[in-house]
Amino acid sequence: MNIGFIGTGVMGASVVKHLIKAGHELFIYTRTAEKAAPLIELGAVWLESPKLVAEKAEVIFTMVGYPKDVEEVYFGDNGILHHAKEGAVVVDMTTSQPILAERIYKEAVKNGVQSLDAPVSGGDIGAQNGTLSIMVGGERKVFDELAPIFDLFGNTIVYHGEAGAGQHAKMCNQIVVASNMIAICEALIYAKGAGLDQEEMLRSVTTGAAGSWALSNLAPRIIKGDYAPGFYIKHFVKDMRIACEEADRLDLDLPGLKLTLSKYEQLEDEGHGNKGTQALYELYDR
């Protein structure tokens, strides 16, 4: 199958590798061709615009940074909805606004194109291992058709409902992650203050009721002082703001989410937006 992929960042590049390994022909676009060099060496074809990718591909994945980037990629002059083949499927894996996913779906239908919103969770490790959790919204029959492709890079693939439902599910994911990151940092700083060996503390708690993906994968990075991004702070701030906006729209009060957002906004304001989310620990360890 000819597959297009727009946005080959920390996670996107790994997804592309899985698709190439499975024998698909990949047409990719990222703003700087140099960053795509490792994928080109594996056989991907870099094209100069989303338009050119759309003209080549039967299925087009997007994984970009912010809702404004999604709008540009889908609705701009070189946007994929204006140039995708009739019958093509577009799949936005960006964590974005549910209302934007609904807009993409409606515009896609007008152009004879099918669409899914399919944000993912699992970070850089999940992308590398092909074990991402994929949360999908859109038409069920389109989801069923693409299931074999999702299987190439995900192991928990759930259909949640009509357009926008995948994004709502991802907001639930981010709400859990938000409060969990505060708990992890507070546990580590408590262990340090109490004179415990932080690694030994993790041995005790990661396999018990407190266990979580973030505790197993990010807490060891914190102890090593490794704040390289599996997921950027700047993107987590974006996600939590969307979740807060949706909560307000639904008339829900989520104080834990708001607290976590305020702390990450502080880190971003201090210039740490390009660090991994585990860098929240720096606020506690000052």
Cβ atoms 70, 242 nearer than 8 A: no
Give me the residues paired with residue 3 across strands: 26, 59
Cβ atoms 181, 263 nearer than 8 A: no
CA–CA separation, 171 and 226 (whole Å): 26
For the question of residue 170 being annotated catalytic, the response is yes
Identified catalytic residue from 51, 170, 238, 275: 170
DSSP state of 177: H
Cβ atoms 7, 62 nearer than 8 A: yes
SS3 of 18, please? helix
**Kindly report the CA angle at 280 between 283 and 222, in degrees rounded to 5?**
105
Residues classed as catalytic: 170
